[in-house]
Chain A
């Protein structure tokens, strides 16, 4: 039921004079895995998904499913199914007949299609709502039906286009849990579009970052958080710390102090911005021998059950996220513990790039094994 997806140098232009919506995108998704397409609004995520689905026929490059070229293959013959942000349940059909729609389209008799539909409705926990009018369902239930209907198409590749973005947070969490369960049971190959890095990290094995129609980086979830290709990727992943300074001899120097670089980036030399995951920074007393950096508390911002403390020295700021119980006062001097696996350097454009370690960001998709990014923002 699952298949490997391979997208190579796909370019999609809407207007000849405008920059392309998709610019030579390469993307490989192994069978049975889930890749999240992460990017800001207008980055081309949805266009890429629609191109894979066959809904945007005018593209160059190739989309392959298990090696078979899908150029010129109509959407309904691609063996995929898509769930959109809006549930798009057919309002003239009951819940049951909505889920039976793919079976009917495949040529099943009405009874057989409905029997199959009942199984998928059961899978998403809605077997009690079978006879219901689709408009009588809540938003979460509608999206569950949409998911069941997509699965009933028995897709070799399941495409999800921000399917939970319109749901309130607790419902969206429930839906993510459901998708995880479904992944465990059915093991479909999944490509999902999201602008929420947390959703991507919950559901996906891999994250592929699209910015301005280019695939900037494609790596497993842990790797991409630890080694963002550039500042834009770091920001998309919720990162807030960018320390300007210089790298050399395995260390990074900024106005806040010196930090060890992670083992994979020891060779980075030159003007470099150090990206720091705020979740891993700890606040300690200024005299603490474990402290790597020191500064004064500038602001304290409550954020849910945590608080974000901005520490400043010499015009350079670093944010640490600490438990809400952590005592901290504005203006007091503090020490900062920053473990090496919380930092990642990115070189300034034109900086001294150590050979064999730097990948151009535009070829980041193929650079899953390589580690050091090249550019600042692009």
Chain B
């Protein structure tokens, strides 16, 4: 059911209201509760954020989340391709196992895992990445699973008989055809790393200061609203930009990748689209 115009407006307001407040706070030097807009505009929040280590935290967040995405996406893709080849019973078991990291409360898991990692003397940063990759795997595997269900392996057979090596068929045929799925999967994995607080704090032992950790430590004090808001803006904008990019890529990909049954349909749609544009 499509929501009517008033419902849509409400929905948009529901999403934007917190963002609006946050953005205003990021540029407010003073804003007491009684007024609609801040009394004093300024960059106090940004100055304090920079002084408190915003650049380093941003860098650590970028490196951590990219590492998680770079590991969890290929692993998820390979798991997905494997799952399409096994029998239904094993597949059902695997799909249950896959949701476990999502279902279990992170705090309980992390406290247990932390003890294990400490005993094994695994470096904190490696431990954080390992745990986050596990948390990201369900997302990447499910996205790639649906992607590969729509992907026709006969394209690779065709490429091989045309003289392409297995590697060339992978790079020039399979990867371009599943690129939209890879984009979506790595975006979700990136988000898992980007927004994590508990794993970074507990397994990282408080020494791995990422954006969420910095936001939380500032939010614990009073009178810190401008700096918390400034940090939050930095934490929110990059994923939003990426989301837009992935969305565009996905739309192009959907036009591109024909599925097993719909080669002709896609061709027709493309023709119609071509005429319309």
List chain A positions with a Cβ less than 8 A from chain B.
Answer: 50, 53-55, 74-76, 78, 80-82, 84, 86-88, 90-92, 101-102, 105-106, 133, 135-139, 142, 149-150, 152-153, 159
Contact = CB atoms under 8 A, between A and B. Distances in A.
A82 B158 contact: yes
A90 B176 CA distance: 9
A136 B270 contact: yes
Contact of A88 (B154, B257, B266): B154
Contact of A135 (B154, B161, B166, B267): B267
A101 B159 contact: yes
10 A-B pairs with the lowest CB-CB distances in the bound complex, closest first: A135-B270, A105-B163, A75-B160, A82-B161, A105-B164, A92-B176, A102-B162, A88-B158, A135-B267, A153-B162
Interface string B251-271: 000011110000110110111
Interface in B152-181: 152, 154-155, 157-166, 168, 172-173, 176-177
B223 interface: no
B88 interface: no
Given A82-B158, A86-B263, A136 B164 contact: no
B161 A91 contact: no
B162 A101 contact: yes
B274 interface: yes
B161 A159 contact: yes
B161 A53 contact: yes
Contacts of B154: 84, 86, 88
Given A86-B154, A136-B267, A91 B177 contact: yes
Contacts of A102: 162-163
B258 A91 contact: yes
A111 B218 CA distance: 59
A136 B160 contact: no
Given A105-B163, A135-B258, A149-B162, A90 B266 contact: no
Contacts of B163: 76, 81, 102, 105-106, 153
Nearest to B256: A91
Given A54-B161, A74-B160, A142-B267, 8 more contacts: A76-B162, A76-B165, A84-B157, A90-B177, A105-B159, A135-B270, A152-B162, A153-B161
23 contacts: A54-B161, A74-B166, A76-B160, A76-B164, A76-B165, A81-B161, A82-B158, A88-B152, A90-B173, A91-B256, A91-B258, A101-B172, A102-B162, A105-B162, A105-B164, A105-B165, A105-B168, A135-B256, A135-B270, A149-B162, A152-B162, A153-B163, A159-B161
A91 B166 CA distance: 19
A54 B166 CA distance: 13
Tell which of B158, B164, B166, B256 has the most Cβ of chain A within 10 Å.
Answer: B158
A137 B266 CA distance: 10
Contact of B177 (A92, A135, A159): A92
B260 to A, nearest CB: 9
A55 B160 contact: yes
